[in-house]
Structure 1
């Protein structure tokens, strides 16, 4: 303990030297033009962390409107909210882009139970999007547990009259939890379609999450165009904790019967809108760069991380440009897409109209991975533009943006894909995202103000760089 002051002094000197050395290294590594860019990026971060608006906007969207499933009254309120907000920010033009969207409704709260060893157990459950309802009296049947679609197909007629239980969990060894999600979401999307072919009475699916909890996760499912409607069977998700318990109980009592009841239905398509606003480019306004997220959400929670954060961050990019008097060379267009969750009709309509109007989209940035701590961006572009974006790592790394890897961009901007179109996905830390994704827990209080604002500035920074440099090289001009 006598050496404690000495140790503290040594640590102080060490970290002070490290900070000074880092400043020297950073300064020496930057060209004169990069120093200008570095200063501009710092200004964007300073601005958002002292005068940001995204958190306030998100509170209004989630607390005053809440869940916004396509076709619902809440989705329409969100459209009106988005249009008003874009005008308040002062975008050069704001308009609504009509689109017809699916209209699925959940109905009454779902019920699920089963009895084993004389004890009735209530199961946290929720219907999957586009599922049909059970009969009014519900479905009661023995359960067969499987881990994959292939395992279910191999059962064939053995699943007739049974409820098939898909219980493949996330691969917890995968650091990127989106990879884990992609590794097992097929059972949710296609499970009912596969099992209906063999006469199953229904499907229940383990929720898509790393967490072991009592919150069921909804999400879309499809029956497919080739399946006759009379063969449709109901599909629902049960919580991950309930899935573990049910699996254990099935080992002890393979003949137990599971009961569930839901009253969801699909209504005729409903009219809705993408909300669009833009800042006109000062030099080449005919070149358009899209920044967006999706305005719709599932109905169980408030749609905070999925995708309220992406919507407000996208608008905050434009807000930061205007606040800091950054005049983009190309047109920056902010889009709040409708119907990403169960159809991507908004994305398809936007791309269709862009083609019809002969618009020249040079790139896009999508935020649809939650509002947690920024980690970087995934890049979907040709090799030359990918290398260009990766060369900006020294400008972005001081803000924790170390990941600049090739990968997908996002469901809403993907229809704009082309050889000379550079698409980018904003990538925050993914570890907590699937705690909330598609659940009643996806609420405003789960979003951290500082993390949200850091994401906005991260997005604004890469948009600033892409607008400035992306098409200077003649070989990649559209």
Structure 2
């Protein structure tokens, strides 16, 4: 009988706690949807500051403005964390042409981030088309030397979660130019990593092997990639050449900063929950979805807590990381300082997949049994807001280094609807006008709800 009454009492307590959680989470969503400031903050970041490539004057402006924004909200601590970042500049607009005999067909290209420049008169060579790094290796130096390698592996449309397609195709951009250089290529052209067919080249970083030969590398739009591929298929290879010219330059490293604001925990101030995104962006547009939405959602979590009077048990920290796009120095520095200070991080949550409709969260560093528990405890509370897809998966680039220095930490990623993100990602279309106010606010409230649940109940 005692066990029976104990079970009834426990059920009653659990039901009461969940009811209170539900009420609190509703307050977060009401605050975000009625009084939210993430959208107007994003407007300022995009329209008054604009592109924020690491090392640029605009990146520094964004740091200064972000600190003032956090100060204005009255967080318990607001500070800058110094970090040295690369300073790569694109230079004058790139030129690209398919050369068919005496005919020159202009095509849209964009230098890959961290690429070297072409010679001042550009590069002209015949083309070797490949669909993968493995195919390139199979061809070998005898076929590749002296040519431009055209990486034309398409975005695999079969992935429902488009981030998986991006990861699968992305190796061509990250590692392709360096692999081509090893075989004697004089340049590399990479099909834009997107499921869309359009004439917007998608930039993004490439990584040269340390000490290896460097060749100029550019992204080509998907429509232009299809045109080039069809021309190569229909004609003999020597007839088709490619010309491109780009003027990028890598300047000395620049001092920059992560911007950090926090609300100190009332019960466990030394235990930290981090939520963040990256402040820097590529230079082709305003960096609205990548990752202006992420940083504005992160600071909005803390603002919402203060607005509704929620005082977290643990310290909750919003971090605007610098240099995610072409070096990841901000994330590395944050992890380094956390290790030096012996900080006890419970969870780090990154939002860097755009400001689209929230769908849920991914968890890295939890067992299958633990993930089941998380679903049992949290799913029903997030279901009314359609942000209840709680799955195994990655956390994010900026928080990844924390796993090396704090093995016990759980890394999380905010997972909005992914279907439109890679149409915009790394292109001139990544502008404020392509962000939906309500979707952004729903995302901020969803992240606030998840941080609250972790703060109250742990994982």
TM-score by length of 1: 0.90
Say if 1:281 and 1:329, in contact at 8 Å, map to a contact too.
yes
1:422 aligns with 2:413: no
Unaligned runs of 5+ in 2: 1-11
1:267 aligns with 2:264: no
1:56 aligns with 2:44: no
**Within-5 A mapping of 1:243-282:** 243-253=225-235, 254-255=237-238, 256-282=240-266
Secondary structure at the counterpart of residue 192 of structure 1:
helix
2:425 aligns with 437
Secondary structure at the counterpart of residue 318 of structure 2:
strand
1:351 and 1:419 map into 2 onto residues whose CA distance is 11
**Within-5 A mapping of 1:163-312:** 163-227=148-212, 231-253=213-235, 254-255=237-238, 256-312=240-296
Deviation at 1:34?
0.4
1:319 aligns with 303
1:462 aligns with 450
1:354 aligns with 338
1:379 aligns with 363
Deviation digits for residues 147-190 of structure 1, max 9, x if unmatched? Answer: 00111111112111111100001110110100000111111111
Say if 2:203 and 2:426, in contact at 8 Å, map to a contact too.
yes
1:88 aligns with 72
**Within-5 A mapping of 1:325-344:** 325-344=309-328
1:149 aligns with 133
Deviation at 1:468?
0.4
1:345 aligns with 329
Deviation at 1:419?
4.5
1:251 and 1:382 map into 2 onto residues whose CA distance is 48
Deviation digits for residues 217-249 of structure 1, max 9, x if unmatched? Answer: 01111111141xxx3110000000100011001
Deviation at 1:411?
1.0
2:98 and 2:192 map into 1 onto residues whose CA distance is 18
Unaligned runs of 5+ in 1: 1-27, 472-478
1:405 aligns with 2:387: no
Secondary structure at the counterpart of residue 185 of structure 1:
helix
2:75 and 2:161 map into 1 onto residues whose CA distance is 36
Deviation at 1:329?
0.1
Deviation at 1:118?
5.1
Say if 2:99 and 2:243, in contact at 8 Å, map to a contact too.
no
Deviation at 1:381?
2.9
Secondary structure at the counterpart of residue 193 of structure 1:
helix
Deviation at 1:46?
1.0
1:367 aligns with 351
Deviation at 1:388?
3.6
2:119 aligns with 135
Say if 1:382 and 1:420, in contact at 8 Å, map to a contact too.
no
